[in-house]
Amino acid sequence: MKGLNVALFLVISLSLVSAEIWGIDYTAKRNKTASCPTYDQVYQDLVLLKPFTNRIRIYNMQDCNQGNYTVRAAQQLGMKVFIGFQNDPLDMVYYQLYILQWLEDNYQVHDTIIGASVGTESIWRNDLPVATVVQRIALVKNWTRDYGFTFPIGYADTTSAIQKNTVLATVCDMVLINIFPIYQGGTISSASDSSTEDILVKMVRDTQKIYASTNTDVWIGETGWSTYDVKAGNSTFTTLTWFVQNMACRTFTEKIPMFWFEAFNQEFKSGREAQWGLFNNNRTLKTTPNFHCANAPSTFTQSTYTVSPISTNVAADCQAMFSALTCKTFSENIYQVNATIVGQTTSYLCTYYPQYCTAIRGVGAKYAHCNAVEKVSYVMDQYYTQYSYTQGDDACYFNGIGQIHSASTPEACHDMYKLAQCRTSAENPSGLGSSVQNTLDYLCSHYPQYCAPLNASTSPYFRCNLTQKATYAMNKYYNDFVYTQGNSACNFNGLGVLNLPAANQTLCHQVYTSSSCRTASENATKVDVTAVGDALSFVCSNNPELCTDLRGYNGPYSQCSITQKASYAMDRYYSTYYSTLGDAACDFNGVGNIQRATPYDADLCSGMYDSLSCRTTSRDTNQVNATQAGLTLAFICSELGAQVCSPLSGVNGKYASCSTAEKASYAMSAYYDKYAKILGDSTCDFSGLGTIHRSIPYNATDCQTVYDRAQCRTTSSDVSALNGTQVGDILNYVCSNYPAYCTDLYGADGRYAQCSVTQQATWVMNQYYNDNFAAAGDAACYFDGIGKIQWSVVSNSTVCHGMYNSLDCHTTSEDPAAMNGTTVGLALEYICSNNPTLCTLLNSDGPYTSCNTLQRASFAMNQYYLKNYGTQGNEACYFGGIGQVLVEPVKTSSTVGVITQGGQGENNIVGGGVTRAVSFVAVLFAVMLTATRNIGGTRSSCHKSGHPFVRLLVLNQLNFGLHWYMPRSNI
């Protein structure tokens, strides 16, 4: 409650006063004990000062954390801060820079800070030599510029100290002079007495003249009136009121930036020094100024910026970054590492190696929010990574703050050197000169994969010395290129020496003789060593796991000859990839030779070749296209797999030693036997490579008999008299959809495989006709007009003829040649499909099975006529015009037709009567039938279309585009 009352009092009292002062000096300490405030107390101080000014000046960043608190509070209130740096000792300068850096990284305060002074009255008090003062100013200026800050940097001191030391202009953007009436002998006798302001302004102008050629601004850093002093018999508070108003407005008029000294009394001081404040220590005003300066701009702006209080947590990403470094400070705690050295190291590295610092400096930088030791560690580690090869561990010293963190040990480095097959002539780098570094640089630049383990802090070789690291890379190169370069792969201009155990000749010989895939000879002088080396290099580069025993000091085959090592590697490659590549896995551009369990047997291979139905034109590979034979073999084996091709390859393949032509023939024959019944003899073509070996010779008599005895056959036996493409299409169509019909047409043992295409087509057409005649009638022999029925082979018995003549309704002719066979066949199919009981006597065991199509159709039509005469009358015998009535039976019921509901709302009368709606299809088909009718009549085309058979025929004709490619079994 007490706090609330105080706050309320402050609000009420401040609402009664207002003034305009360019800036006010502020110290956060308070009370007799010089106690430090909280952030909220600093914030309330600035709330009190805001009605008087929008600019606050502080003297240092670290004292009572005032840099942190003041800048953040000012940012929240929309005010500006002129910050200060205590310039001695040097550690403190760097610590304050760290505070500034932290504020920028976390709160982006660059727009809140309007300038900085580095030191106050150090020259006047003789605290530091002038040169040191200048150096410290330059340090802060360079650091802030490097970090991206642009605010001006200056120095504050007495007028005399500033005027006498113009060297300050070499580093300062401005100088601030501290001038007080009490020390200049001035008095303020009345509110209108301007003599004191005149003196002060003249001192500024005199200083400006001295610095005129240096482009350095002059500000007033301190001026004010201590209420300890009584002059001219006036109240000290009255004098304060007069002076603050007159001096504040005068500096606006003169355009001189001025900071009033100071905001609050400092009770922890004594005498005059304790009473300079506008406010008492208890934050009450000493006077109630209420003035407006004519030349002053508005100084009060409202900000909505808010921010949480400072966090004490270390960012997790900074911790992760620090943990991953190899070279870093011995502690992540900023209080345990010398701040001066941290600052110097950061400044040095970022000045001379700015590329190291892009991630730690500037707004938005990845690690800009990390603490000072985390940042310096980040750049130290980059330096160490770059220079550890030449400087060793010294590259991480940095005046003692650097420490290397790595799993690498001297023992691991020595063991690696000792076991390397190719290494430097000595383990100690001294005495080897620049050749070691040059070799390492060459290998790491051309083969960076060799050096990756040397750069990773987790590697056991990270901290090895220069010769050990060079040995590691040299040995890697040697193992990769020894197969093609031999021992010269370890020369390195004389730096490298071989460290190899003695070869075990017995073991090496066993390696060669036990390899199923190996070089043509074990003697290196009898092979192409370059090609052998290429084969070895290929295997070991692409499948290094296959070459483990060929490498390293302890590799059991590392000292074998080039042919022995190549045979070992090739054999392992062959074993690995045989299942997918076959014998090609042992080719290696002709270097590899397979040691077969079954040697070449000419009788075995020739016997296999002679037994094949599809084979190459010659068993001699030299007489055929070897490339085409190889491609054909590869294609078939990829299609049919190991089941067919396993006898042709591998160590144990029965025919693996046969010639390429013989093996290709074996595969081609298997392919032909599988697909010939479906695809025909073209299955054995293989781009002209294959030829069919027939087991049955051509028999012209048998082929002609096939044609002559066929009831359904092509219209001519001469293919030149027909459309050859149509004949071939029909043959392919039937064999694709009814392969059983074509068994005798293809293959080495096909009875009719060598007959002409018309004879073969007749063979399959006749089988189709015989199987589908019952359902489709003679239409089953249509085949797009290619087929015709051989009537001479149709029964002409008196049974069929007598049956035809006894019917009441039959076709207009008994001679099939006189009528449209398709129309008759469709009529027969329609009746038997919809009324199967009417066609019982036409089945295979019926008396009329062998009658011709017209006789069979007439029987079915008559059965239909007798059944439906009562409802349809003579229309039941119409059937699209092919039927005629000879005897009209006695009607037993009404002649009114049976009405059926058609599509689109049509009412059609089945068999006869009036058709109420005529379809376009019926009209079209009626026109089509005109040319085929053989009897007269007055029926209109639309009347005829009412017959169900006619509708069926029309629909079928339209469905098949009026083009009969072949007879359908379900029309």
| 751-777 confidence digits (pLDDT tens) | 888 888 899 899 999 989 888 877 777
Q: What is the CATH T-level fold of the domain 799-885, as seen in this structure?
A: Methane Monooxygenase Hydroxylase; Chain G, domain 1 (1.20.58)
The mean pLDDT value for 780-807 works out to: 78
Q: Do 340 and 91 touch, CB atoms closer than 8 A?
A: yes
Q: What is the CATH T-level fold of the domain 407-499, as seen in this structure?
A: Methane Monooxygenase Hydroxylase; Chain G, domain 1 (1.20.58)
The mean pLDDT value for 519-544 works out to: 91
pLDDT in tens, 715-724: 888 878 888 8
Mean of all residue pLDDT scores within the chain:
82
C-alpha radius of gyration, the chain, whole number: 56
Q: Do 496 and 438 touch, CB atoms closer than 8 A?
A: no
Can you spell out the DSSP letters for 257-277? -EEES-SB--TTS-GGGG---
Q: Do 615 and 691 touch, CB atoms closer than 8 A?
A: yes
- Check pLDDT > 80 for residue 214: yes
- Identify which of 953, 955, 922 has the alpha carbon closest to the alpha carbon of residue 940: 922
- Check pLDDT > 80 for residue 865: yes
- Check pLDDT > 60 for residue 223: yes
Q: What angle do CA 235, 237, 243 make, to 5 degrees?
A: 105
- Check pLDDT > 90 for residue 638: no
Residue 18 is predicted with a pLDDT of 60
Question: Taking the CA of residue 227 as centre, how many other CA atoms within 13 Å lie in the half-sphere pointing to its CB?
Answer: 23
Q: Do 477 and 404 touch, CB atoms closer than 8 A?
A: no
- Check pLDDT > 70 for residue 15: no
Stated as kind and residue range, the H or E segment containing 82 is strand 80-85
Can you spell out the DSSP letters for 150-187? ---EEEEEEHHHHHH-GGGGGT-SEEEEE--HHHHT--
* Token duo for residue 357: 């610092």
Q: What share of the chain is helix, strand, coil (3-state, %, to 5)?
A: 55, 10, 35
Phi, psi of 374 (to 5 degrees): -65, -40
Q: What is the CATH T-level fold of the domain 700-791, as seen in this structure?
A: Methane Monooxygenase Hydroxylase; Chain G, domain 1 (1.20.58)
Between CA 399 and CA 329 the distance in angstroms is 11
339 or 703, which is more confident? 703
The mean pLDDT value for 41-56 works out to: 95
The mean pLDDT value for 786-813 works out to: 79
Query: Which stretches within 691-818 are classed as H helix?
Result: 700-708, 724-737, 757-776, 798-805
| Confidence class for position 363, pLDDT limits 50, 70, 90 | low
Same CATH topology for 312-404 and 799-885: the answer is: yes
Can you spell out the DSSP letters for 303-349? -----PPPP-PPPHHHHHHHHH-SEEES-S-GGGS-HHHHHHHHHHH
Residue 599 is predicted with a pLDDT of 78
Q: What angle do CA 580, 581, 585 make, to 5 degrees?
A: 130
- Check pLDDT > 50 for residue 174: yes
Q: What angle do CA 543, 546, 549 make, to 5 degrees?
A: 135
pLDDT in tens, 421-469: 899 999 988 888 889 999 999 999 999 999 888 877 778 888 788 899 9
Between CA 775 and CA 772 the distance in angstroms is 6
Per-domain residue ranges of the chain: 23-279, 312-404, 407-499, 501-585, 602-684, 700-791, 799-885
The mean pLDDT value for 386-414 works out to: 85
Residue 45 is predicted with a pLDDT of 97
Q: What is the CATH T-level fold of the domain 312-404, as seen in this structure?
A: Methane Monooxygenase Hydroxylase; Chain G, domain 1 (1.20.58)
- Identify which of 603, 657, 22 has the alpha carbon closest to the alpha carbon of residue 293: 22
Could you tell me how far CA 525 lies from the centroid of its own chain? Answer: 51
Q: Do 61 and 85 touch, CB atoms closer than 8 A?
A: yes
Can you spell out the DSSP letters for 575-606? HHHHHHHGGGGGTGGGT-EE--SS---HHHHH
Residue 553 is predicted with a pLDDT of 60
Kindly tell me the sign of the dihedral angle through the C-alpha atoms of 623, 625, 630, 634: negative
Peptide bond just before 545 cis, omega within 30 deg = no
The mean pLDDT value for 912-927 works out to: 32
Provide, rounded to the nearest whole percent, the portion of the chain with pLDDT above 90: 40
* Token duo for residue 42: 């600093």
- Check pLDDT > 90 for residue 231: no
Between CA 287 and CA 62 the distance in angstroms is 31
Kindly tell me the sign of the dihedral angle through the C-alpha atoms of 762, 768, 771, 777: negative
- Local structure of 84: helix, strand or coil: strand
Question: Taking the CA of residue 617 as centre, how many other CA atoms within 13 Å lie in the half-sphere pointing to its CB?
Answer: 11
pLDDT in tens, 297-317: 754 333 333 333 333 334 788
Residue 951 is predicted with a pLDDT of 37
* Token duo for residue 142: 């360079």
Residue 260 is predicted with a pLDDT of 96
The correct CATH number of 23-279 out of 1.10.150.530, 3.30.390.50, 3.20.20.80, 3.10.290.10 is: 3.20.20.80
Q: Do 107 and 322 touch, CB atoms closer than 8 A?
A: no
Peptide bond just before 89 cis, omega within 30 deg = yes
pLDDT in tens, 465-504: 889 999 999 999 988 887 777 778 899 999 999 888 777 8
Between CA 530 and CA 206 the distance in angstroms is 91
